[in-house]
Structure 1
């Protein structure tokens, strides 16, 4: 699917939104790399290196040259590029021409350490990824002691104490002179500078009902005018990170205003953090792909017809969290299950849609339980098989079902015993049934006739 978006012959140019400093390399390496991974980090650094040859803008090249430079396939470049876009390090623009496309990659400067550690999103995920000890170690690296000016007297001179103004006749250039043109900024040009990064941006979330939250808020407790645009954006971010429902968020906002008599981003972050700690303990949320990448979705722009195709589409558009929630009967997934799934996503590098198939298969065949060693063994097998799509995962689960059940019934963990011809007769997911049962009702004779017809065609083809 990535070939529909990008081709090796498509041209590219890299530019920077503003000056990138050497200090940014440390921020990218220590704060961003743990979140996006080494490959996405390498792609950013490669683009920066290409751009450095010509200051703030590179020469035009092709994606094939970028593939050769990074020794990486186009599909992986496309996926890693998406990570940089999502975390706020890259803006991508495309212009369609007759034969191909031209991509403009605009590198964004990373957040300053101060903004990063007070972001409320990135700092939470970094803490979860690194752990308490390493997180505090890195945080202290970027901290410096505050300057204490107590006991000092401010003696700094002001502008007008140092400089004086000239007579207007000495400052205004003559009409139509060359100096008048020089003082004007050139059209279609901008000055080199350090542009402040916007950081992580969120689209309007369709799964958080903001209107429902507003309806539940009492005007007697929280005046609506206090919910500024900045506060609303903070609420959406916190709801995304901590998976908070609208009514629960309404209670948190009301309680926060009662305690502090003010509503702002920093105060809301503290109140949500307290609520989450009380509900879930010290474990913080983890960062993961929400859904199967569009490039690996078979039914992104295709309407499913059969039951199996509808199942594939469901696994493609749902996140692993939502699948766990669904198989758990709508309840909040257990933290141990979430941590296990999080590990599979990042350690085994399996796509979310593939993990969805794995969750459904294991829980359905194992009395709705996720056994860590069993799940990790199957995940490792799928990773070695390079399973990347939902359809591939379903096909492999069908073909290897007997083997997986032998693994599960084996008393020696990690050592499957020899086949005895008997397999556990557990409940199976609906998609494990034969395709003919799901697509069309035909008689056994018709099915055998179709098989013979296929064998004849294969025989003719081999000849």
Structure 2
């Protein structure tokens, strides 16, 4: 399954742009009204991004996502989940610019709705009501209620602008060009609340059935239609039930609709039938759980294959990071950097070898770590990637098994080479110096020893030797 957060990397950079100033009241709205809807991770993400913005610049410096993950103490899936919650509720807009080597995000912070707008918004207020319950909903709303006074007992003596100020209209004309200059000011574009669409509700069918009754068609305003969509989305009310609820909330004489009564009827019917609160299902939460279960099962499978914890960690890392980031991380840990030639080599392997990214990461690890090469050697990378493509290496564990074989083969080749070198050196020293260091001689060559009778090999031993020789020769072909 392709999880959306797989496209994000801790090494991706981002900048924060502030769309509007946040007042003390805005912070209270965020804390008491939005936080129950979006959860602690999304709330912490919003407040953390806000603190990164510089005063009177309304922009942050460039930051890596790795710093954000450390501050919030969460992983990439949870960061993605928190981000899209803020987007869905109308607190954040996200933008992305991608290139071959890196990605840069811009997170634009939007101000929350005012408390008055929040409680008048059907979707936001109903979400809060269903999340915290009636008692807590009333407590939260009371935090933003202003005590009224009887204005009838007072005379308003407020002065108008022209009662207080006088100005030269000609001066206004002179500065008209400057005043009308096109610039974007902080708070100029107010944030919009979350909305629902009408894709699953057939208004044509709804009105066809409603026309047979006494309801005044003009009483169903655009605002009431929006309310109906919210109730349809929240409670799953179909067109026929919606007609019935509208009729119950309508005046039989005038045909007008009492909107407050309509909402109350819908709420009562739903909770009388269901006997439970509305549950907001987070689609990403399901994906995160599925991914965690998948990783747990996969880790168990890899252990059954005899892989160590370090090898499993390497496989997991290879599956989570892009090849370029994987190579960059290794190079940085070694104190080096990725060259242009290495980028081109990696790009060609990615485009031509048709190998999964995780498999290519194992190849990078083999060349740069196991073999301790300072660079991603072109010829060696092409040779191995060709071999793996032809042998259908489709998973990192298969690639790791290939690496083990190559490492073992190279070790045997090195051992054979050292033996050959030792033999040649001994022979050369004998020819030059005409003497042998006795401590290097075998027992049978020393003075006083009894010569051992050589016993010819049996046919079975000969065949075993020939098989081993062929194996060593085949290792040599596959080694470097």
* Same fold? TM cut 0.5: yes
Q: State the alpha-carbon separation in 1 of the partners of residues 200 and 104 from structure 2.
A: 34
* Residues in 1 aligned to 2:211 and 2:95: alpha-carbon distance in whole angstroms: 44
TM-score normalised by the chain length of structure 1: 0.56
Please say if residues 242 and 285 of structure 1, whose CA atoms lie closer than 8 Å, have aligned partners that are also in contact: no
1:63 counterpart = 2:65: yes
Instruction: Measure the CA separation in 2 of the matches of 1:227 and 1:201.
Output: 19
**Residue 288 of structure 1 corresponds to which residue in structure 2?**
280
Q: 1:85 to 1:283 in 2, by over 3 A?
A: farther
2:85 to 83, 86, 110: 83
Alpha-carbon displacement from aligned partner over 1:313-369 (angstroms, at most 9, x marks no partner): xxxxxxxxxxxxxxxxxxxxxxxxxxxxxxxxxxxxx85xx6xxxxxxxxxxxxxxx
Counterpart CA distance in 1 for 2:19 and 2:294 is 34
Distance 1:132 1:169, change over 3 A: closer
Alignment of 1:372-451 (within 5 A): 386-387=292-293
Higher helix share: 2
Do 2:19 and 2:186's aligned partners in 1 also have CA atoms closer than 8 Å?
no
- Deviating runs (4+, > 6 A) in structure 1? 460-463
C-alpha distance 260-14 of structure 1, shift in aligned 2 (>3 A): farther
1:312-351 maps to which residues of 2 (within 5 A)? 351=289
- Corresponding residue SS for 2:45: helix
User: Matches of 2:33 and 2:78 in 1, distance apart?
Assistant: 22
Report deviation, 1:53.
5.2
Deviation of 1:78 (Å):
0.5
Contact 1:40 1:83 in 2 (8 A): yes
Gaps of 5+ in 1: 174-178, 297-349, 355-384, 397-456
- Which of 15, 26, 33 is the equivalent residue of 1:31? 33
Equivalent residue for 1:182, pick from 175, 178, 182:
178
1:270 aligns with 261
Give how far 1:184 is off. Answer: 3.4
Matches within 5 A, 1:139-158: 139-158=141-160
Residue 64 of structure 1 aligns to a residue whose secondary structure is helix
The one of 240, 244, 250 aligned to 2:237: 244
CA distance in 2, matches of 1:171, 1:137: 49
TM-score by length of 2: 0.54
Residues 19 and 195, structure 1, Cα contact 8 Å, conserved in 2: no
Deviations 1:417-442, CA, capped at 9 Å, x for gaps:
xxxxxxxxxxxxxxxxxxxxxxxxxx
How far apart are the structure 1 equivalents of 2:91 and 2:249? 33
Over residues 6-38 of structure 1, what are the superposed CA-to-partner deviations in whole Å (9 max), with x where a residue is unaligned? 222322121122111122222111122122211
| Aligned mates of 1:183, 1:191 — CA distance in 2 | 13
CA-based RMSD: 3.6
Shift of 1:5: 3.3
Partner of 1:213: 206
Secondary structure of 1:103's counterpart equals strand
> 1:233 and 2:226 equivalent?
yes
- Cα deviation for residue 4 of structure 1 reads 4.4
For the Cα contact (< 8 Å) 2:214–2:252, is it kept in 1? no
Q: Which residue of 2 aligns with 1:162?
A: 164
Number of aligned residues: 302
Alpha-carbon deviation of 1:289?
1.6
Deviations 1:367-396 (A, max 9, x none): xxxxxxxxxxxxxxxxxx95379x969x99
CA distance in 2, matches of 1:126, 1:7: 33
> Which residue, 182, 192, 203 being the options, matches 1:198?
192
Residue 7 of structure 1: SS of its match in structure 2?
coil
